[in-house]
Amino acid sequence: MFKKILIANRGEIACRVIKTARRMGIKTVAVYSEADKDARHVELADEAVLIGPAPSRESYLVQDRIIEACRQTGAEAVHPGYGFLSENAEFSRRVEEAGIVFIGPKHGSIAAMGDKIASKALAAKAGVSTIPGWNDPIETPERAVEIAKGIGYPVMIKASAGGGGKGLRVARDDKEAFEGFSSCRNEARNSFGDDRVFIEKFVEEPRHIEIQVLGDGHGNCLYLWERECSIQRRHQKVIEEAPSPFLDDKVRKAMGEQAVALAKAVDYQSAGTVEFVVGKDKSFYFLEMNTRLQVEHPVTECITGLDLVEQMIRVAAGEKLAFKQKDIKREGWAIECRINAEDPFRNFLPSTGRLVKYRPPMQNMEAAQPVPDGGGVRVDTGVYEGGEIPMFYDSMIAKLIVHGRDRADAIARMREALNGFVIRGISSNIPFQAALLAHPRFMAGDFNTGFIAEQYPKGFTSASVAHDEPGFLLSLAAVSQRRVRERAATLTGQRRHREVRIREDFVVVLTDETGRRDQIPVKVRPQGPMFHVTIAGQTHEVAFEDNLRDIAVHGSFDGRPFCAQIERIGLGFRISHNGASLFARVFSPRQAELEALMPFKAPPDLSKVLLSPMPGLLVDVAVQPGQTVRAGEKLAAIEAMKMENILFAAQDCVVAEVLAGKGDSLAVDQVIMKFQ
């Protein structure tokens, strides 16, 4: 067994690998860029080596520096995590040639499966079901359109070296095929240095289901069941679960056996994933093989009880797998939510900056530790309160994983955990995740990869979520104000006859973006530790277990336990629960009467300016002062967190002034240009 390994990665996966290595008694070496000098993985590792500036192409992707860090520290092996160099066959080969062990498959296996065109041919030869398409590299957009028409729309245009949603477009007509080919090629060239593109048939109402495989260097290979990864947004996975609510045991076995056949065909020695697209008739086709650890590996760990990172290390050290296919258990149900630094209410634009507050929910499961009886909650992360979320890397803050007795129990645990996950200073997708978990079709297991696009065609807004108990959020706001008044009444030094008076009558005021007000009379009466709240003739019982200063609060509502987030902002309270959110101001009747006389401050007219919707790097300005622009035309492009976001004109206009130039670092809401 190795005495010391280097982790050629950052963030939560680097921290995850360190936990297993520590449990196995192996020392660890972290590598870091200048932007990550205070990162959590640097603190957790036994040693750390600076490998370059913030951009990944100058640090985490520089093979020579990582190999030199191994030599410098005496690391015997490298774990690549996922992303960066994890599926780079050249890196794997160079590591091996340097006398260092690559904790992953051999470079020949990576090369065979890393080329999506060659891998499809190899899969077909191994007896794996493959999808119809054109597997040779395509040279021009005109040829792409011709091929797409021959296959029949819709088609999927994919970069051969793509991954993580990059270098992938769905085209439904000639125009989309022409533009999608060019975009895929450019994105693939910039992200992977390989601009080969191929086209295949796009399966309607598809599910994305993947099989976890594990092989050793002694000819043994088996599958560890499947993961359901169909809840995706723009081809990026959002929620993953194991097992799949869609598969039956017959299909599950057939997919597993085909995945093993493919792995054996390339002499696969490590943990890997064979991805399939599954039709509504349960027909399945090979998509690709990921020759690395997956982001969503914890759900497989939960249902099998195996530590996949440990198995990768043991296989790399030359050990045999210590179990057979018949020994792989499948217990309970696991779900993972990816908690990302993005604003779901602004079309999921990246959100970078300082984590002013970071309070994950209570955990009783831990990476590299056995799953407790009855299940629980686990958080894999690489951040900490007060740390920075930089713009140079992906947007993941943490992975929230739950394990339950069955799917319904796992969903209930995940909803509760999301309600208790406090993140402030940057935006996160937690409200969106909570809304998805509460959606009737998700709860019924009735979804496919188009689910999010179908259910939220105009994007995700606060209006997209309705709370299933209308009086709940209002009651929490009213009781919170009553508790504030009770605390104020205990302050010493109050002037005689001017003491804070506690009353039972309140008015909850709700105001929308147009200034329209709703006034809801509420009565709050304490009764022991409980509050009786009367709204619209209905009385509810509310009790709190936490202090006023806590954002995540626990309590009971009409006898049922809850966890919600309550934050005092100015004169009001922001109440969030199960994806629904409400900003309410709570006044006395006289205060509400006077406040209604105050003028409403309308938001400024922003139709004459283009604002940066997020922090990022301005990589392109497509217009000049004096130029006439039509609605839908490209104005500029901003890059952040490895994604390029193109800004289009909302209406016909003339550019008056361009205030930012290519290469500028922009702040959120910074003016890029003005219009006449």
Where b means 16+ CB within 10 Å and e means fewer, 562-578 reads: bbbbbbeeeebbbbbbb
Q: Among 581, 587, 602, 571, which residue's Cα sits nearest to residue 462?
A: 581
Contacts of residue 490, defined as CB under 8 A and 6 or more positions apart, other chains included, come to: none
d(CA 394, CA 613): 17
User: One of 12, 210, 275, 288 is an active-site residue; which one?
Assistant: 288
Which pLDDT value is given to residue 642? 64
Contacts of residue 237, defined as CB under 8 A and 6 or more positions apart, other chains included, come to: 208, 229, 231, 295, 296, 338
207 class by beta-carbon count within 10 Å (0-12 exposed, 13-18 middle, 19+ buried) = buried
Is the Cβ–Cβ distance between 428 and 398 less than 8 Å? Answer: no
Alpha-carbon distances of 586 from 532, 547, 579, 657, rounded to whole Å: 16, 19, 22, 44
Which pLDDT value is given to residue 163? 65
Q: Parse the chain into domains and list their residue ranges.
A: 4-103, 132-201, 208-463, 470-490+500-595, 609-675
Bridge-based pairing state of the strands 538-544 and 27-33:
unpaired
d(CA 500, CA 503): 10
d(CA 332, CA 223): 18
Contacts of residue 194, defined as CB under 8 A and 6 or more positions apart, other chains included, come to: 159, 160, 161, 188
Alpha helix stretches (DSSP H) within 355-449: 407-419, 430-438, 440-443
Record the pTM: 0.84
DSSP assignment of 75-102 equals --EEE--SSTTTT-HHHHHHHHHTT-EE
Which pLDDT value is given to residue 74? 97
The amino acid present at 428, given as its one-letter code, is S
Architecture of domain 132-201: 2-Layer Sandwich (3.30)
Under CATH, which number does the domain 4-103 receive?
3.40.50.20
Report pLDDT digits (tens) over 468-494. 888 999 999 999 999 999 888 888 888
Query: In what side-by-side order are the strands of the sheet with 133-134?
Result: 133-134, 197-201, 155-163, 166-171
d(CA 165, CA 191): 11
Report pLDDT digits (tens) over 192-231. 788 888 898 888 789 999 999 999 999 999 999 999 999 9
Which pLDDT value is given to residue 285? 92
d(CA 315, CA 85): 19
Work out the number of other CB atoms within 10 angstroms of the CB of residue 511: 15
Is the Cβ–Cβ distance between 430 and 339 less than 8 Å? Answer: yes
Is the Cβ–Cβ distance between 137 and 197 less than 8 Å? Answer: yes
* 288 labelled catalytic: yes
3-state secondary structure of 133: strand
d(CA 359, CA 424): 9
Residue 627 is given by DSSP the state: -
d(CA 120, CA 150): 19
Strand locations in 368-491 (E): 376-381, 388-389, 396-404, 422-424
Architecture of domain 609-675: Beta Barrel (2.40)
- Looking at domain 208-463, its CATH superfamily turns out to be ATP-grasp fold, B domain (3.30.470.20)
Same fold: 4-103 with 609-675:
no
What residues in the chain have per-residue pLDDT under 50? Answer: none
Under CATH, which number does the domain 470-490+500-595 receive?
3.30.700.30
